[in-house]
């Protein structure tokens, strides 16, 4: 897989490191900057011809990069949850970030094992001061328990009602939590999945996983959130080092 990358922030730089650890990545072409990695697979490019997928973390140039990707008929991936093109003619993956990508895809994967989940909760941390009241959310240590407020709908295609919660927290750590309650032959089962890791690392994984999935043709033409190919997306994230803790309670 040959990936054209525009990295203007730490998110893109982290994603590049994650992608270089993938065996399937033959080359990474940096758009608008020189390589300092020392890896022979990394070079500077000025044209997208011959590349399999393009990714950009620069919100100011999203539309321009989309047009370039469209001209070459290759998928385009961005971390932002906003689609600047209403009717794209290529696979356009938006929201390749920890909430729209990782948290929502973990939830989609978990819910896929149940015909009709009774309740589903998707939560994540965001930078900010801790709340003193709200909805309680539990994350793996060292984050622990936090108060949360209503969050954005990070899984627009969810086949059932989902509660979304965001918990402000200080520091470099970031967390994700998913709780799915379902009826089973043995009774009601509550499965809680949690992630706690360096926030920049999770942002890099979230973006890189979408690039890997898009580069293998997992997303159709049009606007896609990572959950449109949650299995392929999660496979890439887990290979990149996403560590998910699971707790199961039966009632």
List pLDDT tens digits, range 82-109: 878 889 999 999 999 999 999 999 999 9
pLDDT of residue 38: 78
The SS3 of residue 78 is coil
Residue 112 has pLDDT above 80, yes or no: yes
**Residue written as tokens 């959130």?**
225
Q: Which of 132, 143, 201, 149 is nearest to 170 (CA)?
A: 143
pLDDT, mean of residues 200-229: 97
- Report angle CA 20, 22, 26 to the nearest 5 degrees: 70
Dist. CA 151–CA 45, nearest whole Å: 39
Instruction: Categorize the per-residue pLDDT at 117 as very low, low, confident or very high, splitting at 50, 70 and 90.
Output: confident
Rounded to two decimals, what is the model's pTM?
0.95
Ramachandran category for residue 242: left, alpha or beta (phi over 0 → left; psi -120 to 50 → alpha): beta
- Report angle CA 114, 222, 160 to the nearest 5 degrees: 25
Instruction: Categorize the per-residue pLDDT at 32 as very low, low, confident or very high, splitting at 50, 70 and 90.
Output: confident
Dist. CA 146–CA 208, nearest whole Å: 28
pLDDT of residue 36: 72
pLDDT, mean of residues 49-62: 94
pLDDT of residue 173: 98
Residue ranges of the chain assigned to CATH 3.40.50.720 = 2-96+202-239
pLDDT of residue 209: 98
pLDDT of residue 88: 95
**pLDDT tens digits, residue range 153-188?**
999 989 888 999 999 999 999 999 999 999 888 889
* Sheet (strand 135-138) strand order: 135-138, 145-150, 163-169, 117-127, 173-184, 187-198, 245-250
Ramachandran category for residue 189: left, alpha or beta (phi over 0 → left; psi -120 to 50 → alpha): beta
Identify the architecture of domain 2-96+202-239 in CATH: 3-Layer(aba) Sandwich (3.40)
Asked if 64 contacts 40 with a C-beta cutoff of 8 angstroms, the reply is: no
Q: How many CA atoms lie within 13 A of 91 on its CB side?
A: 23
Q: How many CB atoms lie within 10 A of CB 170?
A: 10
Tokens coding 141: 């240590």
């Amino acid at each position: 897989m040959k990936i054209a990358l525009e990295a203007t922030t730490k998110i893109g730089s982290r994603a590049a490191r994650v992608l270089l650890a993938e065996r399937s990545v033959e080359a990474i072409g940096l758009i608008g900057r020189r390589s300092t990695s020392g890896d022979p697979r990394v070079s500077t490019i000025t044209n997208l011809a011959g590349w399999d997928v393009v990714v950009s973390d620069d919100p100011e140039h999203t539309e321009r990069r989309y047009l370039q990707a469209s001209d070459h008929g290759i998928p385009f991936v961005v971390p932002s949850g906003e689609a600047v093109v209403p009717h794209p003619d290529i696979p356009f993956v938006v929201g390749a970030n920890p909430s729209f990508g990782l948290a929502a895809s973990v939830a989609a994967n978990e819910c896929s094992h149940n015909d009709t989940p009774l309740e589903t909760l998707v939560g994540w941390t965001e930078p900010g001061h801790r709340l003193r009241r709200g909805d309680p959310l539990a994350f793996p240590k060292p984050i622990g328990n936090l108060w949360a407020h209503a969050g954005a709908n990070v899984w627009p295609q969810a086949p059932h009602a989902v509660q979304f919660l965001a918990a402000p927290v200080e520091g470099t750590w970031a967390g994700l939590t998913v709780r799915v309650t379902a009826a089973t032959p043995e009774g009601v089962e509550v499965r809680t999945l949690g992630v706690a890791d360096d926030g920049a690392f999770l942002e890099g994984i979230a973006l890189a996983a979408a690039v890997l999935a898009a580069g293998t043709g997992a997303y159709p033409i049009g606007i896609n959130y990572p959950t449109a190919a949650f299995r392929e997306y999660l496979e890439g994230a887990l290979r990149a080092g996403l560590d998910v803790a699971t707790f199961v309670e039966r009632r």
